[in-house]
Structure formats: structure tokens, C-alpha cells
Amino acid sequence: MAKRKTAGRGKRAGSTRGSGGTQQDAIALLKADHRQVERWFEQFESSRSDSKKSELAQKICEALTVHTMIEEEIFYPAFYEATEEKSIHHEAEVEHDGAKKLIAKIKSSGPQDDYFDARVTVLSEMIKHHVREEEKRDGMFGKARQSDMDLKALGEQLAARKAQLMGAGEPDSGMRRQVSTSTPIHRSMARLAKRMGVA
């Protein structure tokens, strides 16, 4: 089947990393999230302080919750529509479901729970696997770069939604435009939902 052209298509944007508010494309933003959580997992593993472990576990769970939401709401639907890579998309969604169940258990417990460390360790292994699958050469990110997805526009959408979810206050008017249901990305998502019979 031929790939459908998406409303969010455009030139494949590279990362525009840097300080001072420069924008990242979607993949650069998601990879930055991966690296941050990996550092927290490493700190958790080496920590001997219950209070520090509790703090790190909460940071990890909050970051992963936001990360999975912005992927599922914005990046995954755009990827699926642009590439029609059903197996990659569905496996990523199932991996998210497993991680979310473990995150819920970690958030409702603490270092006093005998299984607390084990749950965080297992979550770390799950996330490492998920990240490898997304970032490998022929994984989701590689195929996204090869597609006609407008990764810069998606990066702006992801950043705006992430700021909302992290409680950064009311988005400014520019952010409101980015997450508006009238944006090309959301129109594409609506069309995809309609085709899949869920809208």
C-alpha cells in the first residue's frame, strides 16, 4: 500500500539543539527525554539513601508519564499515518501499557516496600528495551526521519504539550495555537481516528 501524505509533512528537520529557547525537532526532544531518565535510573541504582531513591523514583515516574502521553497523543499517531508501520506502532503502544502499570505501582509505594527497588529496576530494563527499539537504525525514529513527517512542527507540538503536562502554567498564545485542534497534526489525528473507526 502506498504511503499516505500527511497534513504535517514537510522537510525533514534536523535538531536545532542549543540554549536560549531554540527549538528541537521531535526526535531530538524525545531522545533528550530518554537520556534524562537514563541518568536518573543510574543515580537510583547507585544510591543508598531511601529518601534519595524515593525522590528519584518520583522524578522518573513523572517524566515517563509525560513522555508516554506526548508520544501517544502526538508523535505515534503522526508516525503511523505517515509510515503505516503497524507493527512498530502497535509494539510501542503495548510496551507503554506495560510500563504504565509498573509506574502506577511504584508511585503508590516507596522504599519501605520490599518490592520497591525491584520494580524500579524492572522498569529501567523495560525502558532500556523500549528506547533501543525506538532509536535503532530501522526503528521508529529512523523510519520517521525517512518519511515526510514535519519533525520540526511535531517538535513544537510536543514541547508545548510537555510544558502543559509538567504544570508550566497556562501556555502563551503561541503554544495555544500549537496544541489547538485546528492544527495540521490534530487534523491528521482526527482523520486517522475516523479511518480506524474510533471517531
Tell me the per-residue pLDDT of 43-60, one tens digit each, with 9 for 90 and over: 999 999 999 999 999 999
Q: What is the pTM of this model?
A: 0.74
Check if the beta carbon of residue 25 is closer than 8 Å to that of residue 154: yes
Query: What is the DSSP code string of 20-47?
Result: SS----HHHHHHHHHHHHHHHHHHHHH-
Count of positions (residues) in the chain: 199
Q: How far apart are CA 37 and CA 28, in angstroms?
A: 14
Cell of 152: 520540526
Percentages of the chain per state (helix, strand, coil), in multiples of 5: 70, 0, 30
20 φ/ψ sector (left φ>0, alpha ψ -120 to 50, else beta) = left
pLDDT at 110: 93
169 φ/ψ sector (left φ>0, alpha ψ -120 to 50, else beta) = left
Cell of 166: 509538567
For residue 144, is pLDDT > 50?
yes
Place of cell 514535519: 150
Across residues 4-10, what is the average pLDDT? Answer: 41
Q: How far apart are CA 54 and CA 109, in angstroms?
A: 9
pLDDT at 22: 56
Q: How far apart are CA 66 and CA 47, in angstroms?
A: 24
Q: Where are the domains of the chain?
A: 26-195
Q: How far apart are CA 65 and CA 83, in angstroms?
A: 25
